[in-house]
Amino acid sequence: MSAEELAERFSRLFPRASAPPESTSADGVSADGVVPAEPSRPAQETEHAARGCHLEATLASGEVVAAARLMDEHGFAIDAVTGVDWLAEGQMEVIYDYFHPVNGLRVAVRARIPRENPEIPTVSEVFPGANWHERETHDFFGIRFTGHPDLTPLLLPEDAVYHPLRKDFSGE
């Protein structure tokens, strides 16, 4: 399956309008290496050299499990789950990195959630290997993965009530 075919599958599974990249060059590629998607497509092809993946999908938080199932159906494996703190925007972002072990295709699935209530469904039932990635993301960002079987601290002390990768963490 090509990135273009997978983008089409995302479009059929998650139909909606999405905003195109803010600035593009004369060749149609944005400054961050994203090839603009059609306005109704949730996934867009990217230049691997610039972005580290061949396809990026931006989804609602409630769509990440369906996206994980889609990736699993097409033979992808999960490589990483991590977070980003968008303090100024009052949001957290969860990024799921997938790869295909045969064709080398890399896909990033992104979902933004409110910073004041950072919850998103777990994908660990689809990809059991996501379990410890989600625990680590919970430790460092405070993102709760609803339905996760065990969000006890993985790397931080068991009594930790802080999340050191949040931008407002002071360490004091």
Asked if residue 45 belongs to a domain, the reply is yes
Asked if residue 8 belongs to a domain, the reply is yes
Asked if residue 47 belongs to a domain, the reply is yes
pLDDT-derived band at 22, boundaries 50, 70, 90: very low
- What pLDDT is recorded for position 40? 58
Domain total in the chain: 1
* More confident site: 31 or 74: 74
User: CB-based contacts of 87: which residues, under 8 Å, 6+ apart?
Assistant: 115, 166, 167, 168
**pTM for this prediction:** 0.85
Asked if residue 170 belongs to a domain, the reply is no
Asked if residue 165 belongs to a domain, the reply is no
Q: Which of helix, strand or coil describes residue 85?
A: strand
Asked if residue 40 belongs to a domain, the reply is yes
Structure confidence by residue, pLDDT tens digits, 120-143: 999 999 999 999 999 999 999 999
- 8 A C-beta contact, residue 119 and residue 89: no
Phi and psi dihedrals of 142, rounded to 5?
80, 15
pLDDT-derived band at 75, boundaries 50, 70, 90: very high
User: CB-based contacts of 57: which residues, under 8 Å, 6+ apart?
Assistant: 7, 10, 14, 42, 43, 44, 67, 107, 108, 109, 110
CA–CA separation, 38 and 42 (whole Å): 9
Enclosing domain of residue 7: 3-22+32-120
Asked if residue 112 belongs to a domain, the reply is yes
Asked if residue 102 belongs to a domain, the reply is yes
Q: Which of 19-28, 101-110, 138-147, 149-158 has the lowest mean pLDDT?
A: 19-28
Give the residue from 73, 67, 16 showing the smallest Cα distance to 81: 67
